Structure 1
Amino acid sequence: MPEPIALWPGKRESFAGRSIFVRRDRPPDSFTGDAAQRDRAVYVHGLGGASTNWTDLMGALCADVAGEAPDLPGFGQSPPPDDGAYGLDAQAAVVTDLVEAGGRPVHLLGNSMGGAVAVRVAASSPHLVRSLTLLSPALPDLWPRLIPYQMTGALIPFLGPAVYARMQSRPPEVRLQDTLNTTYFDPSTAHAQRISEALEAERERENHGHAHTATLESLRSLVAEYVRRGAHSLWRQAARVHCPTLLVFGFNDRFVNPLIARRAARTFPRNRVVMMPETGHLPMMEHPVRVSRLVRPFLLEHSGGGRDRRAGRRR
Structure 2
Amino acid sequence: MVSGLRELGQGRTIALSTADVHVYDTGVPDGQPVVLLHGFLTNSATWRHVHAALAENHRLVLVDLPGSGRSPDPRTGDWTADRCTDMLAELFDVLSLASPVVIGSQMGGSLAAWLAARHPTRVSRLVVMAAGALGEEAGNLWLYRLLAMPVLGGVVARVFPRRLFAARWAAAHGPGFRPEPDAVVSYHRQLRMRGPAIARFGLGIRRSYGPSFDVLVGPLAGLRTPTLLLFGAEDRLVPPSTGRRFADLLPDSRLVVLPGCGDFPQEEKPDETVAEITAFLRAR
What's the TM-score, normalizing by structure 1? 0.78
Taking every aligned residue pair, what percent have the same amino acid on both sides?
21
SS in 2 for 1:43: strand
The 2-side partners of 1:153 and 1:83 are apart by: 17
1:280 matched to 2:274: no
Cα deviation for residue 198 of structure 1 reads 4.2
1:166-211 Cα distance to aligned partner (Å, 9 max, x none): 365133x3254134312211464434xxx31441353255344xx3
Residue in 2 that maps onto 1:202:
188
1:190 matched to 2:197: no
Q: Whose relative contact order is higher, 1 or 2, with alpha carbons under 8 Å and at least 6 apart?
A: 1
1:107 matched to 2:96: no
The 1-side partners of 2:209 and 2:281 are apart by: 29
Residue in 1 that maps onto 2:210:
226
The 2-side partners of 1:157 and 1:20 are apart by: 24
- Contact kept? 2:99, 2:122, Cα under 8 Å: yes
Structure 1 residues 234-243 or 196-205, which shifts more?
196-205
Query: Against the structure 1 CA distance between its residues 36 and 229, is the aligned structure 2 distance closer, same or farther, given a 3 Å change threshold?
Result: closer
Residue in 2 that maps onto 1:51:
44
SS in 2 for 1:47: coil
2:112 to 109, 112, 118: 118
The 2-side partners of 1:260 and 1:250 are apart by: 11
Query: Against the structure 1 CA distance between its residues 117 and 204, is the aligned structure 2 distance closer, same or farther, given a 3 Å change threshold?
Result: closer
1:292 matched to 2:258: no
Query: Against the structure 1 CA distance between its residues 69 and 152, is the aligned structure 2 distance closer, same or farther, given a 3 Å change threshold?
Result: closer
Residue in 2 that maps onto 1:24:
25
- Whichever residue aligns with residue 67 of structure 2, its letter is G
- Contact kept? 1:43, 1:110, Cα under 8 Å: yes
- Whichever residue aligns with residue 166 of structure 1, its letter is V
Residue in 1 that maps onto 2:160:
170
- Contact kept? 1:248, 1:275, Cα under 8 Å: yes
- Contact kept? 1:116, 1:234, Cα under 8 Å: no
Structure 1 residues 174-183 or 291-300, which shifts more?
174-183
The 2-side partners of 1:17 and 1:162 are apart by: 26
- Contact kept? 2:134, 2:213, Cα under 8 Å: no
Residue in 2 that maps onto 1:71:
64
SS in 2 for 1:247: strand
Structure 1 residues 103-112 or 270-279, which shifts more?
103-112
Give the gaps of 5 or more residues in structure 1.
27-34, 303-315
- Contact kept? 2:44, 2:63, Cα under 8 Å: yes
Residue in 2 that maps onto 1:138:
132
The 2-side partners of 1:166 and 1:152 are apart by: 12
The 1-side partners of 2:269 and 2:213 are apart by: 35
Q: Size of the alignment, in residue pairs?
A: 279
Report the RMSD for the aligned CA atoms in angstroms: 2.8
- Contact kept? 1:88, 1:218, Cα under 8 Å: no
Cα deviation for residue 36 of structure 1 reads 2.8
Structure 1 residues 286-295 or 13-22, which shifts more?
13-22
1:249 matched to 2:235: no
SS in 1 for 2:166: helix
- Whichever residue aligns with residue 199 of structure 1, its letter is V
Give the gaps of 5 or more residues in structure 2.
none
- Contact kept? 1:106, 1:130, Cα under 8 Å: yes
The 2-side partners of 1:201 and 1:181 are apart by: 12
Query: Against the structure 1 CA distance between its residues 174 and 24, is the aligned structure 2 distance closer, same or farther, given a 3 Å change threshold?
Result: farther
What's the TM-score, normalizing by structure 2? 0.86
- Contact kept? 2:170, 2:178, Cα under 8 Å: no
